[in-house]
Every structure is written in C-alpha cells, then in structure tokens.
Amino acid sequence: MSNEGFFFQAFVYLVAAVLSVPIAQRLGLGSVLGYLLAGVIIGPFVLGFVGNEGEDVMHFAEFGVVMMLFLIGLELQPELLWRLRLPILGLGGLQVLLTTLFFTGISLFFGLPWQMALAIGMILSLSSTAIVLQTLNEKGLAKTDGGQSSFSVLLFQDIAVIPMLALMPLLALEGAATAQNQVILVVATEGTGLPAWQQALLVIGTVVGIILGGRFLIRPIFRFIADTRLREMFTAMALLLVIGIALAMQQVGLSPALGTFVAGVVLADNEYRHELESDIEPFKGLLLGLFFISVGASIDFNLLLEQPLLILGMVLGVAIAKFIILFALGRFFRLEISQNLLFAFALAQGGEFAFVLFSFATQNRVLPSDVSEPLVAVVALSMVITPLLMIINEKLVQPRFIAAEVEREADEIDDNENPVIVLGFGRFGQIVGRLLIANGCRPTLLEHDPSQIDLLRRFGWKVFYGDASRLDLLHAAGAEQARLLVVAIDQPEKTLQIVDLVHKHFPHLKILARAVDRRHAYELIRRGVEVVERETFSSALDMGVEALKLLGVRSYRAHRAGRIFKFHDVQALQEMAEARGDESMLLARSRQLARDLEQLLQSDNRELTQEVDRAWDISVLRKDA
C-alpha cells in the first residue's frame, strides 16, 4: 500500500469516526452504533470510499478485540473468575448448546444437509463480544447481574470458537479440506503440522509459560522500564506484551484473544495493572472502532436489496430466537427479571467470530457461498441492531422495572472498586491508608516510586504503579466509582494540578489533600478542597503538648492548650486564605504574608499571656460566695 493511499484511508476512517461517533453519542445511540453507521456511510454501498480492502482492515482491526480481552482479563482477579465458573460453564455452555441445536433444527427443516445445518447452528449461536461489552461498559451496566451473565456467556463462546474451528473441516462435504486460515482472531489447529500429542504439549507449555511469565517475569521487567521514567517505553512494553502473546498463541494454534485474556487475568493483581490498562486502552478503543467501521462497511446492501424480505426476516428471526433462548436460560439461572431482559437483549445478535467462521466454512467447502453470503449479511445487520435493541431495552422496557432496579442498586456495591483512592503511599499516605485498612476500608493505592512499591508489596500491600497526575490513570484506578480521593504526594504543584484535574473531570469526588506549608494550604483552601491537612502541623502540635507536659503542665491542661491552639490556628488559616483571595499583585501578596505572620505571632502571644482556658475557674464563684 502506498503511503498516500494509506494516509487517505486513515483520513477517511478517522473523519468518519470523528464525525459520526460524537453525533451518535449526542443522540444517545452510543459509540458502537456510531462506528457501524460510519462504516455503512463510507462503505461501497453509500460513498464508496472503502472498497474491498475493507476486509483486510477488518482482520487488522480484529486485534482490537484481542486487546479488549486482555483488558477484560486485567479487570478479573482469578478469584472473581473462579466465582463466575458456574455462569460461564452452565449458562454459557447451555446457551451455545441450545442455540446451536435450535438453528441446526431450523436449517434441517429447510432441507439443508446435516453438516451444513450444524455449521450454521454453531456459527449463529455466537454473539458479539466487541459490541456487547463495549455497549455495556458505556452504559455502566458491566457490573450488574445481567452484565456479568452476558460477560460469562461471551467468555464461554470465545472459548467455544476453538473446537468449532477444529470441527469445521470434518463437516466438509467433499472431504479434502486444505484451507489455510490467516485471520488473526482465531487459528485452526492444523497450523503447525505437528502430531496431536506434540501439539497438545506445545499448547499446554505455552499457556503455562504465559502464566509463569506473568507471575515472575513481568514484574522485574516493568520495574526496569518504570525506572527509566519514560512513559512511551511503558506503552511500547505494554503493546509488545500483548502482541507477543498474540503471536505466541497463533504459533501454537490457539486463539490470541484467549491467550491475552489469560495473560490479563494473570496480571490482574500486578501493581502495574492500572498503568497497563491506561496505556492499552486508547489502542483498544481505536482498533475496536476501526473494527466496527469495517463491519459496517462490509454489509452487502445489494444482497439486502435483492431479497429484502428474506434477509430482514432472517435478521428478525435470529434475534427473536436467540432472545427467547437467552431469556429462558436467564429464568432458569434465577436472574431477576429486569437483569434477565438486559441479558437477553444484549446477546440476541450474531458475533464477529461468525465472519471468521463463515469464511472458514466456505474455504473448507462446508458451506457454499450462496448460503454463507446472505448469512454474513444477516449477522452484520443483527450486530447493527444490537445497540438499537439495547436502547429499546433501556428506554422502553427497563422503566417498567425502575422500582425494583433502585432497590437492587443499593446492594450493588462493587467488591472490585474501592471507595477511596490514595495517591502517594509514602510516609504520609501510609498512615492514612493503614488507618483506613484497619477499619475495614480497602483503598486503591497509587505510588510512582518503584522501589517503594517493591518494599510495600513484600509486606503484602496492594500498591499500584503510576503517575497520579494523569487523567487516564485516575480513570483506571476507578475515580468514577470512588467517593474520596486522598492526595498524599509531597509535590505541592502536582497536588494543585491533580485537584484541578479532579474538580474538572470527577466533580463528585471529595478531595482530602496534604499541604506542604501554609501557602500551599491557602491555595488548596481557595480551590475548595474539602479537607486540607498541613503535613507537619499535627505532629508538631503534639510535640508542643509533650514539651508543655515535661515543663510540668498537667497533661489535661496541655492537651486542651493544644486543642485550643489548633482551633485558632485553623480558623486563622481559613480566614487568611479567603481574605487574600482577590489580591493579584505578587508584591502586595508577599507583604501581606509577612503581615499575616506578624499578626499570627502576636495573636499567639496574646493567647499565652491571657488565661488560655477559663474552664473550671472558681475564682468568680468564690467572690460570689
């Protein structure tokens, strides 16, 4: 591809995305539908900017799905995955089995041979991981019961693709299956040409290698990279990791999506997890977008125009049949009704794996192209209507269950996301964090000094690596769900930056900030930070109290003197921070600061010469008597 051609292509795709996605978003249609429509518009049928190379682009963009599964893996601690084993195997397994049986039966009914019928049944049982998860995430439904069930089923389907691919050549009508699959998403097992037992050993070895590597190798490597403090190196390393795993899986004939998913799960409790997430996220987003666009562009509208009733009827039939089977399974697995509807609406479409499997089946001469082509169109259209179905569910169906929904909302407190984020886990943040943990609140901890992280990890602390002033990292650390943000870093300028950033992007977060000195405290107070603590104030005050005690002042009196001092000092701090708010000139400000200090010292003096504390003074009483 020539450079110019490449840039033109990139230009077309990007313009389409940039124009259609925000519009779709604004109209409440969600980004997925925006991408799909953009694809339709630039595709051969409407504007014709994208021709046959759209298919190559799709294969390339499928890597976005691989990245998505890696990110999903990162979010899934192994314990959580283990907890989901019943929905994954039970719900997922039954969904694939029943849907396959149903569509096989229908195909047989229409007189297709059983091999073709089974192939079609299997392919149509799959749903679209990319569209469903992206849409669920966008709507914030991923953590609901329905969302989790959808995820479980999708995960099972992604695994089920591998045996399906293996089975496909066996269904070939004329024997002699020689097709080579070159798509990146899934690779047939005959790729390596080794005997079966060697193949099996190779596969097991690779998976074990990924797990062991993830456990023991990744940490020192990331540590090494982090020490360079070059952000792009980290990004490069993250990409290298994902691509490397994808390649390795491809070499041994496994699904790269599955491989990166496993790697993600292995790295889920790694301290670099949030950093990895925020580095991969934009790539995943763009590639997925590209993927959706190419799906939109690949829809053959000529077929649709030739047989509109047949195609649309099939789209509708597929969606309704899948919906009914999903809903029944949801009932069987005791999903609450509104969650069950979400689950059934979300998964009632064909998936991107169907494109792969259809082309593979055609190559292997399982399906003739006059059968597979209309079906590809059906799957693509069913994918397009998924975001629409989700909107229907959200706007028309769910409101009927709103009362039940509210009640459920309350106990959806997510065990994955912590209500408190502590930025900076050095001398200051540690004390805050330890107190929180001692009282049953697990904060998400972020620290940018790798050696500090290693030390804390050795003592069993979960601390994540990352520069706290980055918006994407705050996202990854769960700032949307959190309630409090403790800024405990020791760089005053960066603290102010973070405060501004958080006020802008996460206005719901209450901020507790560490101030390095009085001036810094003024800045923070003026920014409306909820809690400002000067880092040395309380300990210095405590020491002053101890000094008073050693001088012979009774400890309760010294204690009260300390409290009174603190009260006045904090009050003065607030007043001064507000009073000087409108001053602009630097000179005047520093002069004012000097005056403030003088005032402060004087007022302290007055406090000392006067009786600090009038409590329990009986001299008046005695005069009275």
Partner 1 sequence: MSNPNQILILFAHPAWEKSRVNRRLIQAIRGLDAVTIHDLYEQYPDFHIHVKAEQELLLAHDIIVFHHPFYWYSSPAILKEWQDLVLEHGFAYGTGGTALHGKKFLSAITTGGGAQAYCRQGYNRFSVRELLVPFEQTAHLCGMEYLPPFVVQGTHQLQEHGELVKHTEDYRQIITALRDDQIDWEKLYQFKHINHGLDQILKPQEMTHHV
Positions that interact with partner 1 (CB under 8 A): 554-560, 613, 615-619, 621-622, 624-625
Q: Report in angstroms how near the CB of residue 551 gets to partner 1 at its nearest.
A: 13
- Are the C-beta atoms of 244 and 260 separated by less than 8 Å? no
Q: Report in angstroms how near the CB of residue 621 gets to partner 1 at its nearest.
A: 6
* Token pair 């909302």: residue: 409
Q: Report in angstroms how near the CB of residue 556 gets to partner 1 at its nearest.
A: 4
Alpha carbons within 13 A on the beta-carbon side of 251: 11
Q: Which is nearer to partner 1, 519 or 560 (CB)?
A: 560
Nearest one of 119, 139, 121 to 131, comparing CA atoms: 139
Q: Report in angstroms how near the CB of residue 565 gets to partner 1 at its nearest.
A: 14
Q: Which is nearer to partner 1, 56 or 542 (CB)?
A: 542
Q: Report in angstroms how near the CB of residue 617 gets to partner 1 at its nearest.
A: 6
Cα–Cα dist 72/66, whole Å: 10
Q: Which is nearer to partner 1, 175 or 552 (CB)?
A: 552
Cα–Cα dist 384/556, whole Å: 73
* Token pair 């229908």: residue: 106
Q: Which is nearer to partner 1, 3 or 619 (CB)?
A: 619
Helices (H), 186-307: 196-212, 218-228, 231-251, 256-266, 273-298, 301-306
Q: Report in angstroms how near the CB of residue 546 gets to partner 1 at its nearest.
A: 11
Give Cα separations from 99 to 93, 109, 141, 318 (angstroms). Answer: 10, 15, 24, 10
Cα–Cα dist 482/469, whole Å: 16
Q: Which is nearer to partner 1, 504 or 623 (CB)?
A: 623
- Are the C-beta atoms of 74 and 65 separated by less than 8 Å? no
Cα–Cα dist 134/219, whole Å: 29
Q: Report in angstroms how near the CB of residue 555 gets to partner 1 at its nearest.
A: 4
Secondary element (H or E) of residue 498: helix 492-505
Give Cα separations from 415 to 76, 80, 404, 412, 511 (angstroms). Answer: 12, 10, 21, 9, 22
Q: Which is nearer to partner 1, 413 or 618 (CB)?
A: 618
- Are the C-beta atoms of 144 and 346 separated by less than 8 Å? no
Q: Which is nearer to partner 1, 249 or 558 (CB)?
A: 558
Q: Which is nearer to partner 1, 52 or 609 (CB)?
A: 609
Residue by residue, DSSP assigns 47-78 as: T-SS-TTHHHHHHHHTHHHHHHHHHHHHH--H
- Are the C-beta atoms of 482 and 421 separated by less than 8 Å? yes
DSSP-based three-state secondary structure for 487: strand
DSSP-based three-state secondary structure for 514: strand
Q: Report in angstroms how near the CB of residue 401 gets to partner 1 at its nearest.
A: 47
Q: Which is nearer to partner 1, 587 or 625 (CB)?
A: 625
Cα–Cα dist 346/343, whole Å: 5
Cα–Cα dist 53/12, whole Å: 13
Give Cα separations from 284 to 267, 277, 426 (angstroms). Answer: 18, 10, 33
Q: Which is nearer to partner 1, 585 or 621 (CB)?
A: 621
Q: Which is nearer to partner 1, 403 or 621 (CB)?
A: 621
Q: Report in angstroms how near the CB of residue 279 gets to partner 1 at its nearest.
A: 47
Q: Which is nearer to partner 1, 312 or 435 (CB)?
A: 435
Cα–Cα dist 589/462, whole Å: 43
Q: Going by DSSP bridges, is the β-strand pair 444-447/531-534 parallel, antiparallel, or unpaired?
A: unpaired
**Torsional sign, CA 319, 72, 281, 290:** negative
Q: Which is nearer to partner 1, 15 or 543 (CB)?
A: 543
- Are the C-beta atoms of 249 and 206 separated by less than 8 Å? yes
Cα–Cα dist 158/176, whole Å: 27
Q: Which two tokens stand for residue 154?
A: 């999708």
Q: Report in angstroms how near the CB of residue 431 gets to partner 1 at its nearest.
A: 18
Q: Which is nearer to partner 1, 306 or 613 (CB)?
A: 613
Q: Report in angstroms how near the CB of residue 619 gets to partner 1 at its nearest.
A: 8
Residues with Cβ within 8 Å of residue 179, at least 6 apart in sequence: 169, 360, 363, 364
Q: Report in angstroms how near the CB of residue 562 gets to partner 1 at its nearest.
A: 9
Cα–Cα dist 314/344, whole Å: 18
Q: Report in angstroms how near the CB of residue 625 gets to partner 1 at its nearest.
A: 4
Q: Report in angstroms how near the CB of residue 605 gets to partner 1 at its nearest.
A: 21
